[in-house]
Structure 1
Amino acid sequence: MTTDRTQGPMDRLGFLLAWHGRITDAFIRRALGTTGLTPRHAMTLMHLDTGAMSQQSLIDRLEVDPSVLVAILNDLEGGDLVHRRRDPADRRRHIVEITPEGSVTISTLDTALTKVENELFADLSAQERATLQDLLNRVASVPRDYEC
């Protein structure tokens, strides 16, 4: 007797995504090991590489609690990779910008991440990679009816 419940875990998109996410995370962490940064540190630097922004903007982009961002920025500032300053237009606001050392680190990150991506996606064409990126960008981070 067969039922509709015969799907294996790799036939379920959520499990497949989680499985590949775990593997990808391990590859990225290993690649970042040469810099001493975590994925959150790297993502923060990559956002700042596009230009200075407020701490609130970083909180929104990274989707983290303000206390988590402060810890990330403390680490990055301790490594002279970012600099925080008060916004002259609003002294309650902090502006964060990448330092010259942070820009050098971005170059190292870019090389390491490109190598990881080339290994992970070697069997995909450029078009397939673009399609995968588009599809993943459209996946909801939290299902609409999900209750924690």
Structure 2
Amino acid sequence: MTAPQDSSHPPQRLGLLLAWHGSVTQTRMKKALSAAGLTPRHAMTLMHLEGGPISQRALAERLEVDPSVLVGILNDLERDGLADRRRDPADRRRHNVAITDAGSAALGETNAALDAVELGLFSGLSDQEQGVLRGLLARIDTHADDFDCQE
């Protein structure tokens, strides 16, 4: 007979354990982002723009989103003055996207809020352990196309 499981902790199956911690992390991150007025997708987009202007197609690839989804994200960011789309003078069919000064300021607030969340989440781990965790997470296969879900 097995001992009853402590109901305050998730089951010890790795997938469920990862999902449970992911859910807690996602809730905390969304709360921090909303305080800065951004969604996770908006924040990730601004983070990718921080390095300088990029073509809209390349940005969609980096974010791993459909170009039509990116259009909606960029519409929101432009409406709020956080990003700017301009036609590429070398190729009028292509748009380049850049972060604005307001976007950089919002990203600064966002990074500060996310730093605080991560400090709380990972306070029990040393820098070395955090590095190990990053390495292990990078090896987890999370490609949606690889999973055939049968319902």
Shared topology, TM-score over 0.5?
Answer: yes
Q: Percent identity?
A: 57
Tell me, in whole angstroms, the C-alpha distance in 1 between the residues paired with 2:48 and 2:139.
20
Query: 1:57-102: per-residue Cα shift (whole Å, max 9, x none)?
Result: 1111111111111110000011100000011111111100000111
TM norm structure 2 = 0.87
Tell me, in whole angstroms, the C-alpha distance in 1 between the residues paired with 2:35 and 2:144.
35
Tell me, in whole angstroms, the C-alpha distance in 1 between the residues paired with 2:144 and 2:27.
25
Q: Secondary structure at the match of 1:83?
A: strand
Q: Secondary structure at the match of 2:37?
A: coil
Tell me, in whole angstroms, the C-alpha distance in 2 between the residues paired with 1:145 and 1:59.
20
Match of 1:55 in 2: 56
Match of 1:96 in 2: 97
Tell me, in whole angstroms, the C-alpha distance in 1 between the residues paired with 2:142 and 2:130.
20
Q: Secondary structure at the match of 2:123?
A: coil
Tell me, in whole angstroms, the C-alpha distance in 2 between the residues paired with 1:142 and 1:24.
20
Tell me, in whole angstroms, the C-alpha distance in 2 between the residues paired with 1:141 and 1:64.
15
Quote how far apart the aligned CAs of 1:144 are. Answer: 7.2
Match of 1:119 in 2: 120
Comparing 11-20 with 97-106, which one deviates more in the overlay? Answer: 11-20
Match of 1:6 in 2: none
- The aligned length equals 143
Q: Secondary structure at the match of 1:110?
A: helix
TM norm structure 1 = 0.89
Q: Secondary structure at the match of 2:142?
A: coil
Match of 2:130 in 1: 129
Q: Secondary structure at the match of 1:11?
A: coil
Tell me, in whole angstroms, the C-alpha distance in 2 between the residues paired with 1:15 and 1:66.
32
Tell me, in whole angstroms, the C-alpha distance in 2 between the residues paired with 1:147 and 1:40.
25
Match of 2:6 in 1: none
Match of 1:70 in 2: 71
Tell me, in whole angstroms, the C-alpha distance in 1 between the residues paired with 2:110 and 2:77.
14
CA RMSD, Structure 1 to Structure 2 (Å): 1.9
Quote how far apart the aligned CAs of 1:143 are. Answer: 6.6
Q: Secondary structure at the match of 2:11?
A: helix
Query: 1:101-147: per-residue Cα shift (whole Å, max 9, x none)?
Result: 11111110110000000001110001111111122122222277522
